[in-house]
């Protein structure tokens, strides 16, 4: 069962380094592209990825990579990226490509599309990533749960994930990091399965604010129910590492 952390608040990874055997993936968040005074840029949050403020972040992540943890990077999310990316793909895509090639320990990307974009543009991006990095490069997406429960263009994006899932490009989507925020329960997962998704393509995502130290047992109970009905359940992700329950002082305990 996969354990996946989103890592945006760079709080340090000492505990994760001590207990890396329990962690499968860390997704660094989040990349954005844009332009300032007509000068195109790629940023990790608000700064260039090579900013000295990230030196320790990259060092820790590289150590985890050598310990066997898969390191990925998320692009998009609430800060956007995709409308800029697709508005001038020939300018912005090379910035993303070159960043990923420079950080060789990053072996995958998570596409968190919270903007209205064209389906064909997303397919073009997936095809370019496969062309440049090969089929072993991990590509994931982060839809809200409702989008997979009933195929509606709900949440933050107009994408039809079922159409993507069943398309030629769908074979390159390794899994969906489902944002089951506020609905992290058996019923949500069951509806996704009954909408003809496979357990091997679904990672069930919780947000840390839904489950604190005193109610994390509820999340564990829901996971137990899911695993009894769907033995091939692939695992969970959490947004985000900094305050992952059940011990805010040791986020690595979430993965146990």
Residue 155 pLDDT greater than 70, yes or no: no
DSSP string, 33-80: EEEETTEEEEEETTB-TT-GGGHHHHHHHHHHHHTT-EEEEEEEGGG-
Give the pair of three-digit tokens for residue 167. Answer: 């398309």
- Phi and psi, residue 56, nearest 5°: -70, -35
Query: How far is it, in rounded angstroms, from Cα 215 to Cα 228?
Result: 21
Q: How confident is the model at residue 152 (pLDDT cuts 50, 70, 90)?
A: confident
Residue 127 pLDDT greater than 80, yes or no: yes
**Residue 221: CB atoms within 10 Å:** 12
The mean pLDDT of the chain is: 96
Query: How far is it, in rounded angstroms, from Cα 71 to Cα 47?
Result: 20
User: Which ranges of the chain would DSSP assign to H, the alpha helix?
Assistant: 14-18, 55-66, 82-87, 89-102, 119-133, 145-150, 161-166, 186-194, 216-229
Residue 128 pLDDT greater than 70, yes or no: yes
Sign for the pseudo-dihedral over CA of 173, 174, 177, 183? positive
- Residue 220 contacts by C-beta under 8 Å, 6 or more apart in sequence? none
Give the pair of three-digit tokens for residue 197. Answer: 């998704």
Give the pair of three-digit tokens for residue 192. Answer: 């996704």
Query: How far is it, in rounded angstroms, from Cα 72 to Cα 42?
Result: 16
pTM, two decimal places:
0.97
Q: What is the pLDDT of residue 154?
A: 61
- Residue 224 contacts by C-beta under 8 Å, 6 or more apart in sequence? none
Contact 234, 2 (CB under 8 A): yes
């Amino acid at each position: 069962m996969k354990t996946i952390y989103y890592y945006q608040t760079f709080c340090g990874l000492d505990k994760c380094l001590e207990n890396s055997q329990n962690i499968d993936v860390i997704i660094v968040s989040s990349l954005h592209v844009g332009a300032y005074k007509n000068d195109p840029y790629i940023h990790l949050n608000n700064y260039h990825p090579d900013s000295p403020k990230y030196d320790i972040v990259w060092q820790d992540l590289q150590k985890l990579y050598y310990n066997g943890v898969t390191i990925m990077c998320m692009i998009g999310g609430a800060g956007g990226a995709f409308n800029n990316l697709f508005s001038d793909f020939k300018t912005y895509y090379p910035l993303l490509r070159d960043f990923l090639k420079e950080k060789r320990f990053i072996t995958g990307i998570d596409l968190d599309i919270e903007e209205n974009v064209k389906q064909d543009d997303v397919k073009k991006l997936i095809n370019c990533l496969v062309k440049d990095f090969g089929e072993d490069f991990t590509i994931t997406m982060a839809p809200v749960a409702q989008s997979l429960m009933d195929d509606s263009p709900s949440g933050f994006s107009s994408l039809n994930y079922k159409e993507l899932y069943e398309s030629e490009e769908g074979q390159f989507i390794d899994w969906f990091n489902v944002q089951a925020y506020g609905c992290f329960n058996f019923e949500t997962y069951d509806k996704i399965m009954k909408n003809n998704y496979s357990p091997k393509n679904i990672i069930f995502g919780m947000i840390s604010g839904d489950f604190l130290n005193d109610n994390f047992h509820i999340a564990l109970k829901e996971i137990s129910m899911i695993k009894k009905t769907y033995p091939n359940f692939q695992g969970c992700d959490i947004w985000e590492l900094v305050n992952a329950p059940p011990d805010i002082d040791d986020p690595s305990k979430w993965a146990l």
